[in-house]
Amino acid sequence: MKTFQNQVIGYDGFVEWPPRSPDLTPLDFFLWGHMKGQVYATPPPTLKDLRQRITDACASVTRDMWHNVQREIQSRVQMCIAANGEHFEQYK
């Protein structure tokens, strides 16, 4: 979608910013990336190996990692509030 002066050009008009933005979803900004890095560091040779790697990756998430995620989500929520719920850039 593109905005040109006071007109919106796109399918179905204006689309609200999604309520489950990756900016505010810990599973998206942390867990899936961590899991992918652990599970697919090398291609798993078998389905059994893939399942074990997923189990091991879940077990590798420490309490300290979750504390870091908690601090990060608090920071992101503060940025969202400061932006009045609008789009914000986390890393500038």
Q: Are the beta carbons of 23 and 29 closer than 8 angstroms?
A: yes
Higher pLDDT, 42 or 73: 42
Decide if pLDDT at 39 tops 50.
Answer: yes
C-alpha–C-alpha distance, residues 47 and 20, integer Å: 31
Domain total in the chain: 1
- Per-residue confidence (pLDDT) for residue 51, from 0 to 100: 96
State the pLDDT at residue 26. Answer: 77
Q: Look at residue 9 and tell me if it is in a domain.
A: no
pLDDT digits (tens, 9 = 90+) for 46-66: 999 999 999 999 999 999 998
Tell whether 29 is covered by a domain. yes
The structure's pTM equals: 0.58
Q: pLDDT above 70 covers what percent of the chain?
A: 72
Residue 8 lies in a domain: no
Domain range spanning residue 69? 22-83
Residue 15 lies in a domain: no
On whether residue 88 sits in a domain, the answer given is no
